[in-house]
């Protein structure tokens, strides 16, 4: 049974724990270890997550399968009717069970209640998650390289789905 919980500052240690279990494994074949370490500090330090929650108005979700933490997501409002999915990560042993689809639908329901019309995201061009998003109706609208500092770039597809 899937349970979705809105995360707060008290959940930052769990978000970080899940991240450290999922993120390196997800990107080890796509990025150097140095870039993974840099991005983990940039996006998932305690200070960074606090800033995302407080200043950037990101909503974090934690999801549990049969009571056990299985992943996390974050999203925020970019413009009046445009929202962005920043993160969606699921533990490897929980993948392929429909959790991602259910979480996306949960987020879309929230966005629609706020009169959202478009959900955008970025996905690494070689990440197999691209197919997952395409199967959920997302389309590539742009190929872009994002400079994240220290000489590193995120080489992504920008995808969107009209709601």
Residue 4: the pLDDT is 98
- Look at the chain and report how many structural domains it folds into: 1
Residue 74: the pLDDT is 97
Residue 48, domain extent: 2-162
- CB contact at 8 A, 82 and 118: yes
Q: Tell me the whole-structure pTM to 2 decimals.
A: 0.94
Distances (CA, A) of 98 to 34, 126, 149: 32, 22, 35
Residue 55: the pLDDT is 86
Place of tokens 């108005």: 57
Residue 56: the pLDDT is 84
- End-to-end alpha carbon distance in the chain: 26
Three-class SS state of 128: coil
Three-class SS state of 119: strand
CATH code of the domain in which 132 resides:
3.40.630.30
Three-class SS state of 160: strand
What's the average pLDDT block by block, 10 residues per block, for the chain (163 residues)?
Answer: 96 96 91 93 94 92 96 96 97 95 98 97 96 98 96 96 98
Comparing CA positions, the residue from 111, 113, 109, 88 lying closest to residue 99 is 88
């Amino acid at each position: 049974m899937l349970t979705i919980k809105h995360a707060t500052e008290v959940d930052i240690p769990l978000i970080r724990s899940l991240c450290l279990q999922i993120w390196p494994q997800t990107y080890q074949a796509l990025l150097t270890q140095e870039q993974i370490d840099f991005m983990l500090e940039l996006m998932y330090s305690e200070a960074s997550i606090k800033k995302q929650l407080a200043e950037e108005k990101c909503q974090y979700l934690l999801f549990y399968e049969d009571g056990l933490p299985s992943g996390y997501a974050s999203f925020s409002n970019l413009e009046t009717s445009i929202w962005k999915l920043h993160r969606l990560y699921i533990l490897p042993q929980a993948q392929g069970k429909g959790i991602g689809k259910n979480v996306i639908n949960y987020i879309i329901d929230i966005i629609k209640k706020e009169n959202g019309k478009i959900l955008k995201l970025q996905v690494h061009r070689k990440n197999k998650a691209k197919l997952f998003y395409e199967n959920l109706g997302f389309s590539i609208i742009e190929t872009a390289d994002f400079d994240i500092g220290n000489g590193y770039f995120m080489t992504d597809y920008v995808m969107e789905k009209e709601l």
